[in-house]
Structure formats: C-alpha cells, structure tokens
Amino acid sequence: MNFPAELKYTKDHEWIRIEGDEAVIGITEFAQSELGDIVFVDIDTVGNEVAQDELFGSIEAVKTVSDLFMPVKSTVLSINDQLDASPELVNTDPYGEGWMVRVKLDNPADVEALLSAESYKELVGK
C-alpha cells in the first residue's frame, strides 16, 4: 500500500497536497480499498468556503456511500471533472488522476497539524 511522504493525511482518510497557497485533496489508497469499486463522486461545493472537518461531498461505492471531509478550512476552487465519466480513477490512481478537489487554503499553516505519512500508516495498521 502506498503512503506518499509528501502528502498530509486525516483520520477520515483524506490526503492533501500543498501547492503554494492552494492544495489538492483526495482519498487515500487505504480508503478506496476499503470502499471497493467507486461508482459515483458527488461534490457540489465549488466556490464555497468549507470549514475543517465539514463535508465537502460524498463518494459512492458498490457497497456503501461515504462522506468526504475537508482537511483544513478552505475555499473549493474546482472539482476533478474526469470523475463524472470515470469515477474508477479513484480506485486506479487515488493520488494522481483520482484527485477530488482543488482548494484555496485559508491558513496554509493549518496543514502542519495533520498526520504525516508515517503517522497515517500507523493509524491504519499497515
């Protein structure tokens, strides 16, 4: 299982990659493996400011629906339009083509409070 060291992680299994004062967010390889085959991603928060730990969307797999939580207070700039036609990208490339949203960070320093790759790996027992 892959835990890229350059990312930060949440206990709710989201990852965040910082790119200046913006960031890209998705779900971890562990999360997608637990969910199974992803069939739909529902995100309608573009333009909205979303507080830390608030919902920014949901993801539907064959066996369940799971909420998506914002890692840090941010404004959603865009969603990954590829997921409409190909939600399975979350399964095949969760840290690349399967990203979910691009956000503008309210306070980039907030990211430091999130889990490192090593801490997240311990959390999920891998």
Which CATH number do you get for residue 23? 2.40.50.100
- Asked, for residue 124, whether it belongs to a domain, the answer is no
- Asked, for residue 111, whether it belongs to a domain, the answer is no
Give me the tens of pLDDT residue by residue for the chain, a chain 126 residues long: 899 999 999 999 999 999 999 999 999 999 999 999 999 999 999 999 999 999 999 999 998 999 999 999 999 999 999 999 999 999 999 999 999 999 999 998 899 999 999 999 999 997
Q: What is the CA radius of gyration of the chain?
A: 13
What does pTM read for this prediction? 0.95
- Asked, for residue 115, whether it belongs to a domain, the answer is no
- Asked, for residue 114, whether it belongs to a domain, the answer is no
- Domain assignment of residue 95, given as a range: 8-106
- Asked, for residue 70, whether it belongs to a domain, the answer is yes
Domain count across the chain: 1
- Asked, for residue 18, whether it belongs to a domain, the answer is yes
CA–CA distances in Å: residue 20 to residues 24, 68, 104, 106, 108: 11, 23, 9, 12, 8
